[in-house]
Structure 1
């Protein structure tokens, strides 16, 4: 294989990049990836930036998905488990609102226990 792909945690990635950048002619075939955990945390932080100031924090605390003291960690993506739980719950609520609006706009009445004829 012409290239070596390596996946590390954030702390190790910082050190690995220092090693690779010190001697780029030797390590030119080494490609370093950030691990999935830290990549998801970055995405959660980006989502938090998008929803900051939109009332997201108030909705989440009023719905008791998260307490006011840890909302900054959820919005920033630092509290991983809580952030995943909050974002998944809010996504489900937004999808339900979107579908309800779709039903209203198209006058489509779907029943929840629809079973197709066989």
Structure 2
């Protein structure tokens, strides 16, 4: 009732035959694309092949031709991340980001991070920079000069800051001293909304 035609067998995973060629050779990449394209055509499917960065570029040049145009190429996940991190480093060159990161990491490591080669270090470093920038922007917007620990529970809160007033309003809301409708009309909420 579910299947039309013959019932397919259980699916299984098998290794395809090894290609005894240098993987960086264009003829190796071409023969791989042709073989996968033929097998996919036999099964009436669109072939999707994942390559690492150097082979992806060669395969992309080959698929511009007519014979392998039906092949969909993908860059592997790790190399996609490397490419993305390298593009950040390229876009931010000359912005002072490299010099900032050299305060934490060795200059040679920063060079690798900015080109996307040291992936885990680059991700951590860019997250640190992102957190620092968000903190500076928050400090500028809400006119506070306190550190993160002081904002959480300060013994002497600054009474004129937007965050302090917003914290007091939140406490009143949680203690049911004010309603949501009253808070929405408050000046501090309008400042935060802007």
**TM-score of the two chains, using structure 2 as the length reference:** 0.48
For structure 2, which runs of at least 5 residues remain unmatched after alignment?
Answer: 1-43, 145-160, 176-194
Number of residue pairs the alignment of both structures matches: 111
Shift of 1:81: 1.4
On the 8 A contact 1:2/1:29 being kept in 2, the answer is no
How far does the alpha carbon of each residue in 1:35-74 deviate from its partner, in whole angstroms, 9 at most, with x for none?
1211111111111122222221222222x2x112221111
Among 102, 123, 134, the alignment partner of 1:84 is: 123
Q: Whose RCO is larger (CA < 8 A, sep 6+)?
A: 1
SS at structure 1 position matched to 2:120:
helix
SS at structure 2 position matched to 1:7:
strand
- Residue 86 of structure 2 corresponds to which residue in structure 1? 45
Q: Are 1:109 and 2:157 matched, yes or no?
A: no
Aligned CA distance change for structure 1 residues 20 and 52 (closer, same or farther; 3 Å): closer
Distance in 2 separating the partners of 1:50 and 1:20: 29
Distance in 2 separating the partners of 1:14 and 1:52: 24
Q: How does 1:56-95 map to 2 (within 5 A)?
A: 56-62=97-103, 64=104, 66-95=105-134
Larger radius of gyration: 2
- Residue 99 of structure 1 corresponds to which residue in structure 2? 138
Q: Are 1:5 and 2:59 matched, yes or no?
A: no
**TM-score of the two chains, using structure 1 as the length reference:** 0.74
Aligned CA distance change for structure 1 residues 67 and 29 (closer, same or farther; 3 Å): same
For structure 1, which runs of at least 5 residues remain unmatched after alignment?
Answer: none
